[in-house]
Amino acid sequence: MHDEQIRIRRFRDADAQAVSEVIVTTIRISNVKDYPPELMEELARTQTPAHVLERAGWTHFYVAEDGARVVGCGAIGPYWGKEDESSLFTIFVLPEYQGRGIGRAIVETLERDAFALRAKRIEIPASATGLAFYQKMGYTFKNGCDAMDEEHLYRLEKFR
């Protein structure tokens, strides 16, 4: 990683507010370039600290820190409860930190997690904003389908 002061660690409940702010800020600045603003505002409203805590309850959730500041996040969990398939979730890096290898470090951390190591396949619901990034990380369109789904996401996957 380019940034030596960036550290990736497991999420703690006390991070929920900071993680919520990272997600909402990134949606409002980065994702809004690829989606209608009203759709992004609707999404931003759902990304509360309580929502983050709920997701952290059934995933292995990580944060990227610059000193004491949370600047990115990502999670991995079972794909619909399956033992041999996992899914990546909630991968966000603050706009001013993008392009510095932090997203790559988060994904690489998730791919070393126990949920990844047991999986034959990892899926990611990718936004239009993140699509090229995930493709660079080796993810391809699930079943060759390169169309957005009803959630305005691309379904990508990687076999291990």
Answer yes or no: is 1 within a domain: no
Give the domain CATH number at 18.
Answer: 3.40.630.30
What is the structure's pLDDT at 50? 98
| Domains of the chain: total | 1
What is the structure's pLDDT at 63? 98
Residue type, 21: E
Answer yes or no: is 69 within a domain: yes
Identify the residue whose tokens are 């959730």.
Answer: 61
Buried/exposed code over 88-119 (b: 16+ C-beta within 10 A; e: otherwise)? bbbbbbbeebbebebbebbbebbbebebbeeb
Alpha carbon distance 62, 64 (integer Å): 7
What is the structure's pLDDT at 2? 52
**Domain limits at 121?**
6-159
Answer yes or no: is 90 within a domain: yes
Answer yes or no: is 118 within a domain: yes
Answer yes or no: is 29 within a domain: yes
Answer yes or no: is 25 within a domain: yes
What is the structure's pLDDT at 79? 96
Answer yes or no: is 45 within a domain: yes
Alpha carbon distance 64, 86 (integer Å): 21
Mean pLDDT by 10 residues, the chain (160 residues): 80 98 98 97 97 98 97 97 96 97 98 98 97 98 96 96
Of 70, 112, 76, nearest in space to 91 by CA: 76
Answer yes or no: is 134 within a domain: yes
Question: What tokens does 142 get?
Answer: 């699930």
The predicted model scores a pTM of: 0.95
Alpha carbon distance 73, 106 (integer Å): 7
